[in-house]
Amino acid sequence: MYKLFLLILLVFSCSGEENVDGGGGTEPPTKIIPSNLVFNVEVSGADNNNPNGNGTGVVKFTATANDAVNYSFRFGTGDSKESSSGSVEYTYTDVGTKTYNVNVLAYSSTGDFISSAKTVTVYVVPESDADILQLLTGGSEKTWKINAAFDSHFSLGSKDHKYPSWWEAPAFSKSNSGFYDDEYTFKNDGTYSHKTNGDVFGKAKYLIETFGSTGQGSNSDGEIEKYNLSNYEGSFYVKNENDEKKIILNNKSFVGFYVGEHEYTLECDSENNILLRSVDSDNNAWYIWLTDKDVSTNSSKDLFTDLIWSDEFDYNGKLDSNKWSYEVRNQWYNEESQATTDRLENVRVENGLLKITAKKENYGGKSYTSGRVRTFQKLDFTYGRVDIRAKMPSKAGTWPALWMLGSNYQSIDWPKCGEIDILEHAGNRLNQIQSTVHHPDNYGSGDSKVTYDYNDVSTNFHVYSLVWTETAMTFYIDDKPYHIIGNACSLPFNWDFNIIVNVAMGGTYGGSIDPNFDSDTMEVDYVRVYQ
C-alpha cells in the first residue's frame, strides 16, 4: 500500500511541473535551426593556368545561412577559426600540392547548427634560396624583359654545354614575334606574373598541348610566332642544387620562348641582366637574356660610342710605347716559321700606317722574320667595340691576324684564358676571311666562320670589327655583320683581353710558303676601341 501511494505522488509531481502557467515555472526556449547554408572556397590565384592557386597557400572561405549568427571553419589541418561575418582567410603551409577536407558549421542564437563539407586542393611553393630570390626580385619585386637590343639574346645549343653552340639571334631579329613586349615579374612572396600583351612565342606543339588550340598555324620551324594568350599569374621558387641556380615555375607558367618547360637554370647574372637556360624534351638547350632596364632601341653594335683608346699612327718610326709592346721571340706555336723582332725592318710606322713586314732572311735560327705587337698591360679591357682598318698581305705562306687574348693568360694559360680572332687570313686562301673564338670546350678549330664576300682584301683597306658584350661576340666587315657567337658566364670571355696584331709565316693555318717569297706587308690604318 505504501509503494502504490509513493508512485501516485511522483506522477502527480511531474505532471504539475509541465503546467507552469500558474505555478511560477519557465518554458524551455524554442530551437532555431539555420537553413540554406552556402559554403564557398576560393584559392588565391587559381585560374585555368594555375588550378591550385598561385603558390602562396592563401585560401578564402565564405559561408552564409539563414538564421546563422556565427560560423566555425575547420581547415583539415587541425586548425579552426570562428567568424560572425562568415568570411575568413587561411594560409596552408605544407609544401607542394595537397588536398584537404574542410568543414563549416553555421550556428544560430540558440546554439543549434548545420554544417557543410568540401575538399580543397592547394599548391604551396617551397621556401626559396635567399640569395637567388634577392637577385631575381631585388628584395621586393622585379620585372624582366627580353634584352632584344643585344645579339644572341635568344639562342640554342647542345644540352651538354652551358652556352649556345648552334644558333644565335641577331638583335631585334624576332620583332614580328609575340615575346619582345612580354614582361615577367617575380615577387619576393613567390608569386609570378606574365604580362603577355595578348600573345606569346613558342613551339606550336607545346603551346597547343599546354594551352589548347587557337586555330593558329605554325611556321616552317614549327613555331607559332604570335600565339593568343592572355596575361596570367602563377608562382615560383628558386633553389641552389648541385651548384646550379634553379627557377621552378608552377603549372603552366613560363619565361620567354615556350618549349614546354617550366624549370630554368640561371646561367649568368650581372647587375641588370640574367641568362636563363631550359632544356626541352628533345634535349635542346634554349637560352634567353633578360634585363630589368628599359630595352634600348639601338642594337648592341651602336651602344659603344665612347672612344676610350686609339692609335691613328700619325707619327713615324717606332710604335708608341705607351700603347704597344713588341713580342720578340724565335719560337711560336702552330708550327710557325718566323722569328719576331722589334726592328724597323719588320715593324714601322710611316705615312699614317702601321706596317708589319714578313721577310725571308736567316734570323734567330729561323728562315723568316716578322713582327707581333700587343697592348698587354697598356690596354686591357672587358666588352666594347674594336675597329681595325687594315689591308692584308697576299703572298702564299703569309698568315696575318688581328686578334685578342685573355690578359690572364700567364696565370691560367691558353685556352682557358680565351682567344678572339677578329680576322685571320692566309695568302694560300686569298680573300677568305675567318673569325673564330677559342675556349676550353672548343680550342682546336674553335667556333669559326669564313666569309667569301670580299675579293680585294689585299688591295683595299677594310674595317674589321668586333662588338663584344656579355651576351655575344659579333664580327663585322665594313660594319656588316657576318658571324655571331653567343657568350655566357661559363665561357672565358667576361674578363680583360688585350689586342694583338701580327703576321706569321707558314704554320698550320698559313700553309706552304712560296719558295720565291721575299717579303710582304700588312698595313693598318687605325685601331680604335669604344665602350
Question: Per-residue pLDDT averaged across 498-507, rounded?
Answer: 98
Question: Per-residue pLDDT averaged across 392-402, rounded?
Answer: 98
The string of pLDDT tens digits covering residues 31-85 is: 999 999 999 999 998 988 889 998 899 999 999 999 999 999 999 999 999 999 9
Q: Which residues pair with 108 in a beta bridge?
A: none
Cβ contacts of 86 within 8 Å, gap of 6 or more: 62, 63, 64, 65, 68, 71, 106
Longest dimension (CA), the chain: 155
Question: Per-residue pLDDT averaged across 98-119, rounded?
Answer: 97
Q: Give the integer Cα–Cα distance in Å for 387 and 402.
A: 10
What is the structure's pLDDT at 26? 65
Q: Would you tell me how many other CB atoms lie within 10 Å of the CB of residue 219?
A: 10
What is the structure's pLDDT at 24? 52
Torsion of CA 355, 356, 362, 368, to 10 degrees: -140
The string of pLDDT tens digits covering residues 174-194 is: 999 999 999 999 999 999 999
The string of pLDDT tens digits covering residues 359-390 is: 999 999 999 999 999 999 999 999 999 999 99
Q: Would you tell me how many other CB atoms lie within 10 Å of the CB of residue 255?
A: 23
pTM value?
A: 0.85
Kindly tell me if the per-residue pLDDT of 14 is higher than 50: no
Question: Per-residue pLDDT averaged across 444-473, rounded?
Answer: 96
Q: Is the peptide bond before 415 cis (omega within 30 degrees of 0)?
A: yes
| Yes or no: domain 301-530 corresponds to CATH 3.30.1240.10 | no
pLDDT band of residue 21 (cuts 50, 70, 90) is very low
Kindly tell me if the per-residue pLDDT of 19 is higher than 90: no
Active-site positions read 419, 424
Buried b (16+ CB within 10 A) or exposed e, 375-406: bbeebebebbbbbbbbbbbbbbbbbbbbbbbb
DSSP string, 340-393: E--STTTEEEETTEEEEEEEEEEETTEEEEE-EEE-TTTS-BSSEEEEEEEE--
| Residue 217 or 16, more confident | 217
Q: Would you tell me how many other CB atoms lie within 10 Å of the CB of residue 210?
A: 16
pLDDT band of residue 254 (cuts 50, 70, 90) is very high
What residue spans define the domains of the chain?
Answer: 35-124, 130-297, 301-530
Kindly tell me if the per-residue pLDDT of 13 is higher than 70: no
Q: In percent, how much of the chain has pLDDT > 70?
A: 95
Alpha carbon distances (Å) from 42 to 39, 83, 91, 120, 372:
10, 17, 12, 9, 73
- CB-based burial label for 338 (10 Å; 0-12, 13-18, 19+): buried
What is the structure's pLDDT at 29? 75
φ, ψ for residue 59, nearest 5 deg:
-130, 135
What is the structure's pLDDT at 71? 98
Task: Report the Cα–Cα distance between both ends of the chain, in Å, rounded.
Answer: 123
CATH for 35-124 (2.60.34.10, 3.30.200.20, 3.40.50.11290, 2.60.40.10): 2.60.40.10
DSSP-assigned letter for residue 15: H
Cβ–Cβ < 8 Å for 103, 117: yes
What mean pLDDT value characterizes the chain?
A: 93
Q: Give the integer Cα–Cα distance in Å for 466 and 475.
A: 5
Q: Give me Rg for the CA atoms of the chain.
A: 38
Question: Per-residue pLDDT averaged across 227-240, rounded?
Answer: 95
pLDDT band of residue 1 (cuts 50, 70, 90) is very low
Q: Which CATH architecture best describes the domain 130-297?
A: Beta Barrel (2.40)
The string of pLDDT tens digits covering residues 421-453 is: 999 999 999 999 999 999 999 988 899 999 999
DSSP-assigned letter for residue 221: T
Cβ–Cβ < 8 Å for 264, 290: no
